[in-house]
Amino acid sequence: MKNNGIYQLIEPGKKGEAKFVFFSGKGGVGKSTMSCTTAVWLAKKGYKTLLVTTDPAPNLSDIFTQEIGHKITSINNIENLFAIEINPDTASEEYRERIIAPMREILDENNIQIINEQLNSPCVEEVAAFDKFIEFMDDPQYDVVIFDTAPTGHTIRLLELPGGWSTTLEKSASTCIGPGASLQGAKSRYEKAISYLQNDAKTSFIFVLKPESSSLLETQRSSDELSKLGIKINFLIINGILPEEACTDEFFKKKKEDEKKIVKKINETFPAMQKLFYLLRDSEVSGLELLEAAGKFLYEAKIEDTKIELLNGKVREFQVMTDQKELYYLLTPLNGTRYIFFTGKGGVGKSTIACAASLHLAEKGFRTLILTTDPASHLQNIFGQTVEHEPTRITGVDNLYAARIDQKKALEEYKKRILDIVKDNDGETKKSVEEDLSSPCAQEMAAFERFINYFELNGYDIIIFDTAPTGHTLRLLELPSDWKGFIDLGDLTKKASDETKNKYANVIETMRNKEKSTFIFVMYPEYTPIIEAWRASEELKKQVKIETTLVAVNYLLSQDSGNNKFFSNRRKQQEKYLSEIQQRFKTPMIIVPLLECEPEGIDKLRELGRTVFCGKKNRCKFTPISLSDGIQPER
């Protein structure tokens, strides 16, 4: 027996004609698990299968417990299965070499150096990643190529790239992604790849989502964005559905009722689309045996027996000690404005915890601004009101303001500033600058400039940054090192670049200063979010010398809920990973319990803030943070 709907989407066609299957969705919904499950199932059926991840924070090596990296690697003990993790840095180096190599025989060293500097532009990394991934779309040696993509905002930007790139090519012979003449051949390859993506017979787009409002909203937004590119979503996997029989207490019965409402909304939003509901397990899906079991469920409709046993006696309690005074010191201003950064893998609850913290601090009397750098942010859904490009007061809350970086508006501001600088130059100079500003790089430069300008904003005691998933946050902070070749082109924008570099240096110094900045990694107690946060934390320390100051652990099961073997097994797993978090990070913890429903709206955020930061109704038996009621902000 087969699940025909989804099986038809992954089934290879004629020999020599590869099938392309994309798994996408919001961060943390289980894209990689579903990609690996599908790859293993196809390989076991005898299809030669290649699994490609485009996520800057890949985890295929972790799932298959072997080193993979930026090379096609045969997966141990699974005949027919190969995988590659596209490394943006290595892909960029390969891309530059491919552009420059044919010119070495006809250009002198000076001109080669100029082209090299041009190719140090901020967007070469993304173009190179796209270039690398379409390489596999023209390779007939595989029956199926499966793409495990980055969180949706990043994936859509990647798919939109050829459009912006073509526009640039038409306007300028010298672009930030290479000399126009050498790119004409690549242009036709890009157009061919896009035509494959638009072809239902060759390519399938499967979206994975959790039964949560934020996940549904992002899927809906992605569907709209992809349709503008002529690409449609073919199938939905709703991952992590609570088994009805495991909901044996009031907490999980209520949670199940809330989940049913979300599932109803998913069905109403995508009425005609085929869907498959994948049940939550009592442990994370890791190891070949569980991947095979998941594949049999997805593609053969084989359902595992779920036997639920009630527990007798008390539920085991976690013990996590937190130094309240130290936490207060790290979250409130000591010397001017305090900058707090919430980052981590997609789907770990960064935005929710950042919003709850901002509301709590604002209601303590601190004038607080929360802003998001995530292109796929849902801040406005959490607050239940519109969040604009400029800071706007949150209705009904004194001292709390919110903003989001609107990429288009940031680009308009950036262009205006740069053009003002060269307004007195000659026509040729101005034309050259205008061409630079039409390049794909300019949008990234603009977003980065907007980000660092918030460090010059006066009038706030606390500024909270809700950042994009870790891979993209790291990239944002590393951007200036990529800038040199782009912003030093001649002396056209040199004045502007010097000014920005000085600002960047000040920002980095501020972020390194623990009296001014707090860097918080958010995670939930499972292997992938922990290891991704830890690697990013180490990278931040190595690349920009920024130390992680706190970790926030989300979705902890309280001792009042889950009175059966199913949740007991999950609790044991959480306990094991809590210990690992303590050993790896060695920082104070913010503990956030699993809630009955998603906290949206001011009242629910306030309740979460009190639970997390004051210990009200927190039944996880942790020593919670307590921001002293008697301490008021210094003015």
pLDDT digit string, tens, across residues 468-508: 765 555 666 655 554 444 444 334 455 556 666 677 788 88
* Between 609 and 189, residue with greater pLDDT: 609
Q: Is 351 exposed, middle or buried (0-12, 13-18, 19+ CB in 10 A)?
A: buried
* pLDDT at 163 exceeding the cut of 80: no
**91-114 average pLDDT score:** 82
* pLDDT at 633 exceeding the cut of 60: no
Angle formed by the axes of helices 109-118 and 88-100, nearest 10°: 140
- The pLDDT assigned to 402 comes to 96
- pLDDT interval class at 156 (50, 70, 90): low
- The pLDDT assigned to 369 comes to 97
- The pLDDT assigned to 164 comes to 57
* pLDDT at 222 exceeding the cut of 60: yes
* pLDDT at 523 exceeding the cut of 50: yes
Residue type, 429: T
- pLDDT interval class at 177 (50, 70, 90): low
* Between 428 and 371, residue with greater pLDDT: 371
90-104, 343-357, 486-500: segment of lowest average pLDDT: 486-500
- The pLDDT assigned to 439 comes to 67
Measured distance CA(41)–CA(81) in Å, rounded = 10
- Which letter does DSSP use for residue 488 in this model? T
**305-311 average pLDDT score:** 70
Q: Can you give the pTM of this predicted structure?
A: 0.84
- The pLDDT assigned to 476 comes to 60
- The pLDDT assigned to 429 comes to 76
Residue 425 CA from chain centroid, whole number: 41
Q: What is the residue-averaged pLDDT of the chain?
A: 82
Cβ neighbours of residue 456 closer than 8 Å, sequence gap 6 or more: 503
User: Sign (positive/negative) of CA torsion 209, 210, 214, 216?
Assistant: positive
Four-CA torsion 67, 474, 598, 317, nearest 10 degrees: 60
- pLDDT interval class at 615 (50, 70, 90): low
**523-531 average pLDDT score:** 92
34-48, 366-380, 424-438, 592-606: segment of lowest average pLDDT: 424-438
Cα 566 to Cα 275, 309, 562, 563: the distances in Å are 25, 8, 8, 8
Q: What is the pLDDT of residues 282-301, one digit of tens each?
A: 888 878 888 999 999 999 98
Q: Is 528 exposed, middle or buried (0-12, 13-18, 19+ CB in 10 A)?
A: buried
- pLDDT interval class at 169 (50, 70, 90): low
- The pLDDT assigned to 632 comes to 40
- The pLDDT assigned to 269 comes to 97
20-29, 163-172, 389-398, 601-610: segment of lowest average pLDDT: 163-172
- pLDDT interval class at 109 (50, 70, 90): confident
- The pLDDT assigned to 630 comes to 34
* Between 514 and 17, residue with greater pLDDT: 514
143-157, 247-261, 573-587: segment of lowest average pLDDT: 143-157
121-135, 420-434, 473-487, 578-592: segment of lowest average pLDDT: 473-487
- pLDDT interval class at 8 (50, 70, 90): confident
**328-339 average pLDDT score:** 90
